[in-house]
Structure 1
Amino acid sequence: MDLAKITEIRAREPGRIAEAWATRSRRPLLGTDGRLLIVAADHPARGALGVRQDGTAMASRSALLEHLATALSRPGVDGVLGTADILDDLLLMGALDNKVVIGSMNRGGLQGAAFELDDRFTGYTPEAIAAQGLEGGKTLTRVCLEDPGTVATLTATADAVTALAERGLMAMVEPFLSVRENGRVRNLLDPDSTIKSIHIASGLGASSAYTWLKLPVVDELDRVMDATTMPTLLLGGDPQGDPDDTYASWGRALELPAVRGLVVGRALLYPPDSDVAAAVDVAAELVHGVGSQGAGPGGAAR
């Protein structure tokens, strides 16, 4: 389905979106191997359009949807993380059947804004996630000890974790210790800062039963992962170096018991050689042990 057709449906038959969510074919969160490969596409809603040195790489919605559709069609890809605009488009394209769908909840901390760390919940709500049949919600939880906006983000994240747990839905929390330098927010990616962020995130909400963590691949990851019993998905990020080095680091990290898979966006959707399918197949092989040979729900080999 091209963008013109999607726009026509949005203009003339917007009710079809709710109907499509209600009839979407769903699957269990986890398959037989207990691992997940999720493609992330919630960056644009925070004004973050850059990939490597290209500051507008994600500006084209048609290209982004094409890349996402390619990724979601590959064996071993379990699902997608995104905001409502992108997920509704993918839904109309028929790309979300039998996929894990995670709604991005707080996108108010716009990249480069003076209020970036007061990261308001402007996307999905727990109520909408449950009503539309999504499998969970994701929060970005940056903790800056010198920014008073942090406490509002922590409070909203705790409320979201509680509300999702009450509905038996995954709460994917992505924590960082962050600092503001020369007007820009920088996440601290050393092991000790990551460990502290894990402990802060793990204590949010009235129940941790459905909490998952989304963490960066950092040094001393075995020591970092000893900080939690929460199932964890590793963040692919926006790698700047050799893709083979990135894949190797993912492979080593996936050997740790608490690591249950990857959430990767730009690294797979905009690889240096532009071959989305090949990049996704490498990630699927790392997570599930399957690539182009095929996988069933959750990456279990057919």
Structure 2
Amino acid sequence: MRELDFDALRRTRAHHPEAVLEVAAGRRRPPHLPADGRLMLIAADHPARGAIGAGGDPTAMGDREELLTRLVAALERPGVDGVLGTADILEDLLLLGALDDKVIIGSMNRGGLAGASFELDDRFTGYDAETIAAMRFDGGKMLTRIDYDDGGSIATLEASARAVDQLADRGLMAMVEPFISTRVDGKLTNVLTTDAVVRSVGIASGLGRTSRHTWLKLPVVPDMAQVMRATTLPTLLLGGDPTGPPEEYLAAWQATLALPGVRGLIVGRTLLFPPDGDVGAAVDTAVAMVHSGQPAHDGAMA
């Protein structure tokens, strides 16, 4: 991993903040999906929700210089198509010159802080569709957790539907990450069963007045073939922060990537903080799985 000039980054942020807009305006954008129709994206929106743990280290993502160094190293690997992040991280990456020719997805709702009593209140405290379009990014992602025992979930559904509409009006990807969630001993937990994910897919797919630009971001659970039969929408697999040996989750990703409708991976902590510390090797393994399959389709991104 190469050294980055964080002193220069801090000076720019303090004395020339408009440089963010200048770099965004001049950034080279990828006009289409890769030739094989698949995407390999790096996720980096966890800190804004207070989720800074990775790989057993409760504060792994809390060092911004370390996180940015690992992100730049991942984005420089061949076959990595882009990044998902909040404004603070994406603007750092822009100023570091790391986002030319990359797909960029802005994270929209980070208000449901990890472990908070209000965690399920996933308010839109990040990007909005207007800013995503103004920054010449490619789409927005919304976490959409649904607890049947919490009446507040309807507000999350309404806000997500509104975001889907606003992104679609601008021809931008609306990436919906749905979960059926519940509280166990007071702790919010996502229900990672096949039936629960199938149900969440149906709910997420129906959000908004159009689904023409909607993509899904889904966890890998048992019987992903059944999950993928629940939708015709393009789908990316999320990596999460698995606790088992790498060969187990890699095998699960590989099998699921072969299913119809699965267009790639969007993984953060698992690749940025691998057990052996080798970011390049971890990313290269994921890229090989995403971009070695049969072409999904050619054409525009959304």
For residues 190-209 of structure 1, the aligned pairs below 5 Å read 190-209=193-212
Deviates more, 1:87-96 or 1:245-254: 245-254
Amino acid in structure 1 at the alignment position of 2:256: A
Please state whether the residue corresponding to 1:58 is helix, strand or coil.
Answer: helix
Q: Which residue of 2 aligns with 1:293?
A: none
Q: Distance in 2 between matches of 1:2 and 1:272?
A: 27
Could you tell me which runs of 5 or more consecutive residues in structure 2 were left unpaired when the two chains were aligned. none
CA contact (8 A) 1:26 1:97 kept: yes
Q: Which residue of 1 aligns with 2:21?
A: 18
TM (normalized to structure 2)?
0.95
Distance apart, 1:2 and its partner CA: 2.1
Please state whether the residue corresponding to 2:163 is helix, strand or coil.
Answer: helix
Match 2:114 to one of 102, 111, 114: 111
Distance apart, 1:52 and its partner CA: 3.0
Amino acid in structure 1 at the alignment position of 2:159: A
Distance apart, 1:182 and its partner CA: 1.9
CA contact (8 A) 1:112 1:183 kept: no
Amino acid in structure 2 at the alignment position of 1:118: D
Q: Distance in 1 between matches of 2:170 and 2:114?
A: 31
CA offsets 1:16-66 (integer angstroms, 9 cap, x no match): 111111111100241211000000000000000111321111110001000
For residues 133-282 of structure 1, the aligned pairs below 5 Å read 133-282=136-285
Please state whether the residue corresponding to 2:88 is helix, strand or coil.
Answer: helix
Q: Distance in 2 between matches of 1:183 and 1:113?
A: 10
2:63 matches 1:60: yes
Distance apart, 1:96 and its partner CA: 0.2
CA offsets 1:122-153 (integer angstroms, 9 cap, x no match): 00000000000000000000000111221111
Q: Distance in 2 between matches of 1:11 and 1:29?
A: 35
Match 1:5 to one of 4, 8, 13: 8
CA offsets 1:190-240 (integer angstroms, 9 cap, x no match): 000000000000010111000000000000100111000000000111111
CA contact (8 A) 2:105 2:137 kept: yes
Q: Distance in 2 between matches of 1:58 and 1:129?
A: 24
CA offsets 1:174-202 (integer angstroms, 9 cap, x no match): 00000012221100000000000000000
Moved over 4 A (4+): none
Q: Distance in 1 between matches of 2:89 and 2:135?
A: 14
Q: Distance in 2 between matches of 1:284 and 1:263?
A: 11
Amino acid in structure 2 at the alignment position of 1:78: D
TM (normalized to structure 1)?
0.95
Q: Distance in 2 between matches of 1:53 and 1:276?
A: 16
CA contact (8 A) 2:55 2:275 kept: no
Amino acid in structure 1 at the alignment position of 2:137: L
Using the aligned pairs only, state the percent identity. Answer: 60
Q: Which residue of 2 aligns with 1:44?
A: 47
Number of corresponding residues = 291
Amino acid in structure 2 at the alignment position of 1:69: V
Distance apart, 1:244 and its partner CA: 1.6
Amino acid in structure 1 at the alignment position of 2:78: P
Deviates more, 1:46-55 or 1:202-211: 46-55
Q: Distance in 2 between matches of 1:63 and 1:177?
A: 33
Q: Distance in 1 between matches of 2:218 and 2:27?
A: 29
Distance apart, 1:116 and its partner CA: 0.8
Deviates more, 1:146-155 or 1:87-96: 146-155
Distance apart, 1:262 and its partner CA: 0.3
2:75 matches 1:72: yes
Distance apart, 1:3 and its partner CA: 2.0
Q: Distance in 2 between matches of 1:100 and 1:2?
A: 24
For residues 72-91 of structure 1, the aligned pairs below 5 Å read 72-91=75-94
